[in-house]
Structure 1
Amino acid sequence: MERVEVFKQFSSACSGVLLCTDVAARGLDLPQVSWIVQFTAPMSVAEYVHRAGRTARAGHSGHSLLLLGPHETAFIPELNRHRLDLEPLHLTPLLSVLLKDDRYRGRGNYYSQTSEKAREQEIKERATVLQTEFENFVHSDPQRISGAKKALQAFLRAYTTYPSHLKHIFHIRHLHLGHMAKSFGLRDAPRGLGNVARSSKNRLNKKGKTGNASQWSKEQGAKKRWSGSHRDSELLCSEFSSGLESKTKKNRTKSQPAES
């Protein structure tokens, strides 16, 4: 009943933001929705269509925004093959709105300069200030910290459930757990995240154990590499950066396109 009440309040409101799962992707009449923001990539092209289809209905205009990490941009050709053309929006221009609010002003004197490089540096510093305020808010309440940890663990478990034909794009080994922790307002990756990833992967492997022996052997070899202490220590490191710094050649992988 509580969910029905939330739906009624949102439907009758003049404006508002509704946070929901794919349960609202179809079958609900949500009038005049102007924006659909997909925080996680869908499990299929059909799911993307259903999500985006909540806007621009009955002759109205609308927009759909899909958030993708650097290694997830390979999902775009998958959408293109189904005649879904997306217009890229880069991060720096979006964050430039922080230049309008001096509450997020950095320590440098870049704001008075006109060069593009100085402007980008100012945007990065302001984004770092915003990230710090977000983390301070989460860490000011033990319940918020606990909730953020549970949400992060739930996200990682869900990330392991992408279908096999999308595993080359959405694989948990492509995630930087330190950066993911910061996206949930945590200053450090909680202990045991590697175990969460491994246990989810183990369940998937056991389900597919009836396949041919050579394929199962390859999967076990991948599991062994993922279980190494060196891998865990690399992924579970503390992160104090904004995550906006350009990647060096040492940190680039074949799955992550180099930033220009």
Structure 2
Amino acid sequence: MIRRLTGCVCFLHQDRTEVFKEFSVSQSGVLLCTDVAARGLHLPAVTWIIQFTPPTAAAEYVHRVGRTARIGGRGSSLLFLTPAETAFTTELANHNISLSEMKLEDILSSLMMDDTFKGRGRYHSQSSSKALEQETRERATVLQTEFENFVHSDAQSLQNAKKALQSFLRSYTTFPAPLKHIFHIKHLHLGHTAKSFGLRDAPQGLSAPGGAKSKKKGNQKNNQKRGGGAGKSSANREESLLRSEFSDGREGGKERKRRNKKKSGGEEEE
């Protein structure tokens, strides 16, 4: 885990020369970054590339993993995919990129090695495979609860998690058309996605942290009294995206019809 590393933990989301230099000279460490570091950087002795979000193309995958195993060295890469995203492996295979699957159950079974994550202890994992599976799930729940407790420990970290989820959902709608059958917002389980950000709230409760919801309602009423506006605001579009599990981030059909009527000279009451 990151907290046990003896080196540095760096965050690189844009051109930060000092961060890059600090990581380059560290004996060990973790660099958390976006695709800004996917190409053009030579980092010595990188052993693992962890991809928490899928790339938008096979070429981008190659650029990402190319940060390890350089100049005759050896390295490994791990790509996280949801069950609905596993078809991306076929897309990579079409570009002669082969992956071997790591079962989630096998990864979670490592929690059996540390009693920090011990659950209720009602199951004897050595008695049957079913009992082992149940205890592993309980320990995973304990770990998830620790993540959630950390995120909800103060208002700022909770707000950051909500913003991160909203940013992730917006980015998920930008996958190119050839990959939309794999990466589509309709395929995301928003409740599970929220959990992955350490959030406990249902998706419909994420768009209005604090007192923003009542303020938005007041603004909407004022707009209606003035005759309304031309289209939804960016904040309202985010709210609609989080509220509907089947929304793809585009404006609703009624809004498009209203605009078409206005263009053709027709009128419609708000």
**TM-score of the superposed pair, with normalisation by structure 1:** 0.74
Could you tell which deviates more after superposition, 1-10 or 161-170? 1-10
Quote how far apart the aligned CAs of 1:202 are. Answer: 3.4
Residue in structure 2 matched with residue 32 of structure 1 by the alignment: 45
Report the alpha carbon displacement of residue 61 of structure 1 after superposing the two structures with TM.
0.5
Q: Which whole-Å CA distance do the structure 2 matches of 1:18 and 1:112 have between them?
A: 37
Hey, what's the Cα distance between the residues in 2 that align with 1:114 and 1:61? 40
Q: Which residue number corresponds to residue 89 of structure 1?
A: 102
Q: Contact 1:160–1:201 at 8 Å: present in 2 too?
A: no
Cα drift, residue 200 of structure 1: 3.3
2:180 to 161, 167, 171: 167
Aligned partner of residue 31 in structure 2, secondary structure = coil
* Correspondent of 2:249 among 192, 195, 200: 200
Which has the greater radius of gyration? Answer: 2
Q: State whether residues 152 and 158 of structure 2, in contact with CA within 8 Å, keep that contact through their aligned partners in structure 1.
A: yes
Query: SS at 2:49's partner residue?
Result: strand
Q: How does 1:87-166 map to 2 (within 5 A)?
A: 87-166=100-179
8 Å contact 2:173–2:248 — kept in the other structure? no
Q: How does 1:222-241 map to 2 (within 5 A)?
A: none
Q: How does 1:55-94 map to 2 (within 5 A)?
A: 55-94=68-107
Q: CA deviation at 1:115?
A: 1.5
Amino acid aligned to 1:149: K
Tell me, in whole angstroms, the C-alpha distance in 2 between the residues paired with 1:111 and 1:99.
12
Which structure's relative contact order is higher, taking Cα pairs within 8 Å and 6+ residues apart?
Answer: 1
Which residue pairs with 2:263 in the alignment?
Answer: none
Give the conservation status (yes or no) of the 8 Å contact 2:184–2:248: no
1:46 aligns with: 59
**1:111, CA displacement in angstroms?**
4.2
The 8 Å contact of residues 151 and 157 in structure 2, kept in 1 or not, is answered as: yes
Moved more, 129-138 or 192-201: 192-201
Give me the whole-angstrom Cα distance separating, in 1, the residues matched to 2:78 and 2:56: 16
Cα deviation digits, residues 117-174 of structure 1 (max 9, x gap): 1111111000000000110011011000000000000000000000001101100011
In 2 relative to 1, CA 89–36 (structure 1 residues): closer, same or farther, beyond 3 Å? same
More divergent stretch after superposition (177-186 vs 107-116): 107-116
Provide runs of 4+ in structure 1 moved above 4 Å. none
Distance 1:194 1:171 in 2: 18
Q: Show the counterpart of 1:247.
A: none
Cα 1:13–1:111, aligned 2, differ >3 Å: closer, same or farther? farther
Q: Does residue 181 of the first structure (1) align with residue 155 of the second (2)?
A: no
Q: Tell me how far 1:114 sits from its aligned partner.
A: 3.4
Give the distance between the partners of 2:125 and 2:150, measured in 1 at CA.
Answer: 30
1:199 to partner: Cα distance: 7.9
* TM norm structure 2: 0.72
